[in-house]
Structure 1
Amino acid sequence: MSDIGSKNGHVPNARLEETTLSTNNIFSGKIISLQVDTVRLPNGSTATREVVRHPGAVAVLALKDQKMLVVDQYRQPLGRCEVEIPAGKLEPGEDPLEAAKRELEEETGYTCGSIRKLHSFYTSPGFADEVIHLYLAEDLTRGDMNPDEDEFLEMAEITLEEAYQLIQEERISDAKTILAVYAWNMYSLTGKI
């Protein structure tokens, strides 16, 4: 296991690498595309891999007066509403920091005096290349919400205890928001994330 981990985050391990032999583009939509790759496995045999391509996204842990800003929004794949932190996809060539500021203002009406990147993480590396850049926004100033024309949501401010209750109730069940709640808890206990 000595090949796991490095300063730059990526260590090649030739013993496990797969070689792409061909790619069949199946679907290209507004947000995602789907391809099926034929790959050569380390043992020489072949397999197929279904891959979802995504432009990436940003998410914002926005804190105001010991509360976190969240939005309640209907999620078609789940068939129900989900409470989440403000988030959205990156536009082509868009800087993630600027996207985070834009999404915060669009979905909550707030701007921030302080914002910093916490982490970037892949949502489902077994089949998708989507990466989410998570930011911490503080020193918030209220303004007007300006969601996308096909985006219907309600903004709320919740305490850490309420966030944990919403996780228990599975009203918060997405990875980015759960990660943000745990990061917020650490921040409230130690002053560091």
Structure 2
Amino acid sequence: MYQWEQELFDGTKTIFEKLKHPDTVVVFPVLDDGKIILTEQEQPGKQSFIGATGGRIDDGEDILEAAKRELLEESGYEASEFILWDTQHPTSKIDWVIYTFIAKGLKKVSDMNLDAGEKITLKPVNFDEFIELGTNKKFAEKEIIFKLLEAKLYPEKKEELRKLFNPKF
């Protein structure tokens, strides 16, 4: 946490506070058959959840390198293409950025290499199942729920998203 003195509109001053959280990457891998690899995860002190591969960006690490590392560690896949799909600051009270990628051109190169606090099962789903996750309370990637709900409501948005996740484009 850090604090700073801030001048207000009336000229008075007050102390503001903000938390610092390491920036994170989220990666949605797409198999050649069009299925999107999701994860079912367990972590100590949390309810199990459905999500994507991803995690913290290490100090000095580039966001793309972090995405590649997290994909490999949590799935055993490498990808030939990474598309930066979304970037968000999830809250104004925390200095934190979430970078969301779509990974295509997958190749299985190793077993998963999980941290001691992770239990992960890979769950490939089709595009329509992926869209439905926007209303699943266990879906952890809250930063993209709006995009999933928008695709569910508007056919043109769904087609845009379908093209983005198409492994052939």
TM-score after normalising by structure 2: 0.78
Picking from 132, 136, 139, the partner of 1:172 is 139
Amino acid aligned to 1:86: T
User: Pairwise CA RMSD of aligned residues?
Assistant: 2.8
What is the CA-CA distance between 1:36 and the residue it aligns to? Answer: 4.0
Does structure 1 retain, via aligned residues, the 8 Å contact 2:8–2:14?
Answer: yes
Bigger relative contact order, structure 1 or 2, given CA contacts below 8 A and separation 6+? 2
Return the offset for 1:164: 3.2
% identity of equivalent residues: 25
Match of 1:85 among 49, 52, 66: 52
Matched, 1:151 2:91: no
- What code does the residue aligned with 1:176 have? E
Q: Which has the larger radius of gyration?
A: 1
Q: CA separation in 1, counterparts of 2:6 and 2:116? A: 41
TM normalised by structure 1 equals 0.69
Could you say if the C-alpha distance between residues 86 and 117 of structure 1 is closer, same or farther in structure 2, counting changes exceeding 3 Å?
same
63 and 95 in structure 1: CA distance in 2 versus 1, 3 angstrom threshold: same
Q: Distance in 1 between matches of 2:24 and 2:82?
A: 16
Please point out which of 99, 103, 106 is paired with 1:133.
99
Following superposition, the deviation at residue 84 of structure 1 comes to 0.9
Gaps of at least 5 residues in structure 1 are: 1-33
* Secondary structure, aligned partner of 1:91: coil
One of 67, 70, 75 as aligned partner of 2:35: 67
Higher share in helix: 2
2:48 and 2:71 map into 1 onto residues whose CA distance is 19
